Amino acid sequence: MNRRIPVLEGILPLDRKRVPVDVIAGITLAALAIPEVMGYTKIAGMPVITGLYTILLPITVFALLGSSRHLVVGADSATAAIMFAGLAGLATPDSTEWVALAGWLAILAAGFLVAARILKLGFLADFLSSTVLIGFLTGVGVQVACGQVAGMLGVPKTGSGAIMQAFNAIKDIPQASGWTVVVSASVLIVIVGSKYLSKKIPGALIAVIGAIAASAYFGLAALGVSTLGTIPSGLPHFGVPALPPSTAWSTLIGTAASLFLVILAQSAATSRAYAVKYDETSFRENVDLVGLGMSNVSAALSGTFVVNGSPTKTEMVDSAGGKSQVSQVTTAVIVLVVLLFLTKPLSYMPNAVLAAVVFLIGVELVDIKGMKGVLKARPLEFWVALITAVTVVVVGVEQGILLAIALSLVVHVRHSYRPNNLLISFENGERRTHPLKKGIEAAPGLALYHFGADLYYANAQAFQTEAVLLVDKLEPHVEWFVIEAAGIGDIDFTAAETLRKLVPALKERGATLKLTDVTENLLAELQASDLIGVIGEENIYGTLRDVVDAFATRVPSAESASQPPPSGA
């Protein structure tokens, strides 16, 4: 057995011809991501410089330990918002205590990720459906955008909740700082305008550099425009964060669990999408869990906050032609240069610039197109997404993610609780499927019934009721009721007992229960539940064709021949 520790899977094999392209993509990522991650610090309540730290060590660690060749790890709006909601009330944002608590959140989230790797729980990502993720991220987008309105206008942020803060800021427009509004409007025009011209133009970087230059040249701070002020240069401080008070642990663990689920779902979905896009088989979900976990440990030890697999940054690299983690390593090198030599100019940056950048990030998270797509395809799931979004905006991000998980499970159970069951027939030798209401038999007296899900406690009673009803209603009278079991991968205790009762219930109606296309796992479950003897080995067939041929050559028993059609048939 290969016990090799997985490293450099996102880089090797190294295509030397592609290295220049990957390096250019890394430079592009740095140009676009640096202002973005600085903006995320406003969502997270962290010092601005810590945004750069998220794409220094964490991005490098994942490049070394992850399996995805495409996933970019760094600060993310969703996890930043969850973190802020979880830490609110435990410390003052931007304070030393807040930074320490953020570090412990990253360590705890890493613990969940590594534990998930050990227990091979990568599949848990599947339990956050795309529907609720669209709703969740839309809610986060609304909350994030509303929270930046005051900063863009240069008025105090007042009120509880992002909606109220935006409402109060709009009321205070008469007191707004004129020059702050000009800066915010200029940033919005540059970023939106550049995207309109070409998505490859680094509009955010142009806006940031232009605002810094204007602030320094015109002395915007003296005109009432607040700026970032002194920003420390050099490498981050390395070390274990100060221990939080004992009363904070329960809150930290609960918040870390929410962070873990979002990191797991968002990172896995992004990695899978690009692995499929490029037909790559090297992507391994469980290896990425270790990479993400160690990235978060490195974030905590370097004084920054939780990192996540970022769909937007991953798309930045892909659009620029990057096809391996060489791009991400290049970005880390550029960030290192900025930290060592270019932090002084950042002190001139108006706070309104970051507010405008974050506002646009929030707006982009509001997935109107996705919500419309869900509404058109699955109206019921649209309401699930909408409820999730409203909960995030009105109640909170942490509650929103918990509801998202619960609703994902409800949607999952609903699909298996009411599976798409069908009747099967053969026309000119070809298999045909029909809705149950059409009442079509495969042959006079032969009902072929497809059950489209695992059989378990939630759908067992509906299964029994449906089977009995079909036998009572189908014409001519059903002699063989055949369950095509290809879609039944498992059967629990409750369902086994239901099947045990169904056999005599059908017999009383003159019908014999048969099974076909039984999987190995289902056959083992039937044996373990002592159902083989109840059903009869002679009543289990290999394929539908086998059972159709057997029915055609059967010799009707005296009992079935004399059995009158059931009442109501």
Q: Given CA atoms 85, 39, 315, 317 in this order, what sign does their dihedral have?
A: negative
Q: Distance between terminal CA atoms of the chain?
A: 61
**What is the model's pLDDT at position 557?**
53
Q: How far apart are CA 151 and CA 181, in angstroms?
A: 9
**What is the model's pLDDT at position 563?**
45
Distances in Å between the Cα of 522 and the Cα atoms of 131, 326, 454, 487, 531 are 31, 47, 10, 10, 11
- Cβ–Cβ < 8 Å for 59, 72: yes
519-522-525 Cα angle (round to 5): 155
**What is the model's pLDDT at position 514?**
95
Instruction: Name the pTM for this structure.
Output: 0.72
Low-confidence ranges of the chain (pLDDT < 70): 1-5, 125-128, 282, 398, 555-569
Question: Which one, of 465, 466, 516, 527, lies nearest residue 491 by Cα?
Answer: 527
Token pair 């996102």 is found at 10
Residue 435: φ, ψ to 5°: -60, 150
- Cβ–Cβ < 8 Å for 352, 184: yes
Contacts of residue 386, defined as CB under 8 A and 6 or more positions apart, other chains included, come to 135, 371
- Dig out the tokens for 157 from the structure: 């942020």
Question: What single string gives the DSSP state of each residue in 175-233?
Answer: G--HHHHHHHHHHHHHHHHHHHH-TTS-HHHHHHHHHHHHHHHHTGGGGT--B------
List pLDDT tens digits, range 171-230.
999 999 999 999 999 999 998 998 888 877 778 888 888 999 999 999 999 999 999 888
- Cβ–Cβ < 8 Å for 456, 529: no
Q: Which CATH class is domain 422-562?
A: alpha beta
Residue 167, classified by CB atoms within 10 Å of its CB into exposed (0-12), middle (13-18) or buried (19+), is middle
Question: What single string gives the DSSP state of each residue in 488-522?
Answer: ---B-HHHHHHHHHHHHHHHTTT-EEEEES--HHH
**What is the model's pLDDT at position 5?**
65
Which amino acid belongs to residue 353? V
Domain spans in the chain, listed from the N-terminal domain onward: 16-135+197-358, 422-562
